[in-house]
Chains A and B, each alone.
Chain A
Amino acid sequence: MKKIGNLLLIAALFLSVCANGQNIALTAKCSRTAVDLNETFRITFTTNARRGEITPPNFEQFIVVSGPYQSSQTQIINGRVSSNRSLSYDVVAQQKGEFVLPAAFIIVDGKRIESNKLKITVKEGLKRKNNIQQQAEESFNVTILSSKKAVYVGEPIILKFRATLFDPVRNLDIIQSPNFENVLQQQLDSKEESYREVVGNKVATIYDFDKRLILPNTPGVLAGQELKIRGQVQVPTGQRDFFNMPLMKYVPQVASAKIPAIKIKSLPDGAPSHFTGGVGSLNLFREISRREVSGDESITIKLRIEGKGNLNITEVPELSNLEGFDIYDPKFNENIRFSERGITGYKEYEYLLVPQYRGSFVLPEIKWTYFDLKTDKYKTVTITEDTLTVRNPNLAASKPNSNLSMVPEQETSILNEDIHYLQNIDFKSDHNTLIKNGTLILLAILGLCWLWQLAPKRTHLKNSNWRKIKSREVQKAFSSMDQKRYGKMLNAIEFGLVEKGLNLENITKANLQKTYGNPIGNEIFMLIENCNLAQYAPLSSSNDDSNMNAFIEIWKTI
């Protein structure tokens, strides 16, 4: 048993060596080398290599309708193993002629292997039609419908792309769009419409899948490449299923439509100088917000073109320079609609005018010309001149053509001067915070000081000997006949009064009587008056003695 296993292993190894040893090739095949325009044919690249990826050439002259399709198969015949892989494309030719399809290639173990090149001839009327192909070709077609057969340059045309389906078709797709030459085109927003209609003797589905507005800008004939669409067409295979129903299959099919022959006429000669290219049924309007202003009001002027025509490429005339006003850059507004009716809407410039001088100013006449399609003639719109009046008393009176002289003399000197040169920056330390904080602290101290003034003078009262000290000072002054002795006596009395909450400056007899009783109060009042008197008129020594005695008496009470 072990021996048989070993033999099988050796055989397998031998087979694999044989397989690897064979030559690797890549071949290109074409289902037809001579084809008709719009005829779908298949190009297949086949290789026996097990590894590597087939890289197709650039199908420059052809349109890939479907693909790529990949397939692979392995065969063992008489012990010989072979494998094939293939890559297929369904393509269609774009134009007539002889074309060489470049080689495809595959890279295996770092080695590049190229296929053969294919020579394909494309001619009209070559198509060999079998029943299925005939049926597929007749299953649908495509046309471009034009709204007009002849137009002027700048006159819009509506083109409708229509597919007529006689059999079930799926995956309809544009593979080549008509690139119209020398036109502006706009795709119109429209729903895809389909409806049933009898075409010839068949009932067909009409499918409008695209609408475009074309605006030719060069005279001649509308030109461009064909429209090509592709679809999967359902055709019978000729076989029947278990229930005896015909078996169907989908095959790719391409249909093309030529550009409709539309003549583009140039506009007649003799266009006026105001003509700026407007074609259609248009009109020009001028709107003025107010013709008379007072105070600092402004004026708004709108210049608007509206109607039906090539509005999107037509220029709105500009407001000419107006004496006496500052004219700001205009605001542009437009509302242009593209539809099957053509191009409609408006576009306008909105100017803001700010009066600079007082007076009346003429808004000049405007002439604007367009080509009227109804009459096939140039038509000129004229907007007559108008007058704007500025009554602002703060503004200077208008002086036409002498704007510069309106500048005051002192300003003229500045106009002639240059700006002053740079200044030296003083980088002194920023003391702002310090100053602020310092001020706040000082304010707090000031507040405390004022509060302190209101508080009783306890610091003096704390001194228990102040009575003796004051009394001794007075006695000493009197014994030495000091000139300020009565001042010192008054000072001592004031100290005593302050203790009772009295102020010597505004003392009255009644206050003293109320505080100390009538006799003492009277005595204190008398003594104060004597002291005041003695400060200005000298008294005799006997009066000194009596006053001193009176002081000693009342000092005990005070």
Chain B
Amino acid sequence: MEDHLTTIADSARALYDRGLYRAALEKYDTLVQLQFHESSLYFNLGNCYTRLGELGEAKVNFERAILYDPINQSARHNLDWVNLRISERILQPQEELLHWISETMRSILQPNYWTILSGCFIILSVFLLILRRTKMVAFTWRWPFTTTSLAMILLIIAQISIPESQRAIVTERNSIGYSEPSNQSNQVVVLNEGGSGILIKEENNWSLIKFGNGRIAWFYKEEWENILP
């Protein structure tokens, strides 16, 4: 399986090198269809979209690359590159404190490694408890309790560090915001490609988006793409 995936990635890179960005994009897309979420894969997709001039889609993919690996410096560079070339200047929305903690934890270790670490402490706790029960009757319970607590804390960190995001980005040339989920209602704002906001809720074909300045508006759902795939 791994060989097959590597072959697809290699052929995509070869197409990219030959300037066939659309074909390379399709190859990388097949990997995404296989539910393979890897920072470098989204980074490469972002590069393809950038070369094709679809900066909204490029921004979505660079944001995804950073979401899965917050220390991916190349993704941050390319995202800055794209942000300088999109005309949207509406304030970028800030996500919650939990999201910041999650990103910090993820930049230290990936969620899987946090889980493995927690597993190690669980094994240690089990070992101590068995020892206390069988061989060392006088062994105090405080040691297994401490290791068990550490294991639980690590498990919580592993859970928090799983990538989550409510942000969405405009992928069309522009997107008109309305006061109600109907194009007959008042036009509130027009966002250009690459504009972003926090997705609050969805209703039929409409998404309620909140901006960095606290304003909200309804947009056509299809003109936006969530950062979390």
Residues of A within 8 A of B (CB): 295-296, 298, 326, 328-329, 331, 350, 352, 354, 356, 394, 407, 411, 414-415, 417-432, 435-436, 438-439, 442-443, 445-446, 449-450, 452-453, 457, 459, 491, 494, 498
Contact = CB atoms under 8 A, between A and B. Distances in A.
B37 to A, nearest CB: 9
Contacts of A415: 84
Contact of B43 (A326, A331, A423, A432): A423
Nearest to B129: A449
Contact of B189 (A352, A418, A453): A352
Contact of B9 (A295, A350, A427, A446): A427
Contacts of B156: none
Contacts of B144: 449-450
A423 B43 CA distance: 7
> Contact residue range for chain B?
35 or more
A221 B172 CA distance: 50
B6 A427 contact: yes
Interface stretch (B95-103, B133-141, B200-208, B221-229): B133-141
Contacts of B91: 296, 394
B157 interface: no
B38 A426 contact: yes
B119 A442 contact: yes
B47 A422 contact: yes
B80 A414 contact: yes
B74 interface: yes
Nearest to B192: A328
A422 B9 CA distance: 11
Interface string B42-54: 0110010010000
Contact of A425 (B38, B137, B212): B38
B50 A419 contact: yes
15 contacts: A296-B91, A326-B89, A329-B174, A352-B187, A354-B90, A419-B81, A421-B47, A426-B40, A427-B5, A429-B1, A431-B112, A439-B115, A442-B126, A443-B155, A450-B148
Given A443-B122, A453-B141, 16 more contacts: A296-B213, A411-B80, A414-B81, A418-B81, A422-B47, A423-B44, A425-B38, A427-B6, A427-B9, A431-B112, A432-B112, A435-B116, A446-B122, A446-B125, A450-B148, A453-B132
Interface in B71-119: 72, 74, 77-78, 80-82, 84, 87, 89-91, 112, 115-116, 118-119
A454 B155 CA distance: 24
A417 B76 CA distance: 14
Nearest to A495: B137
Contact of A446 (B112, B115, B126, B133): B126
B77 A427 contact: no
Given A331-B187, A422-B13, A435 B133 contact: no
B84 A442 contact: no
A415 B215 CA distance: 31
B17 to A, nearest CB: 9
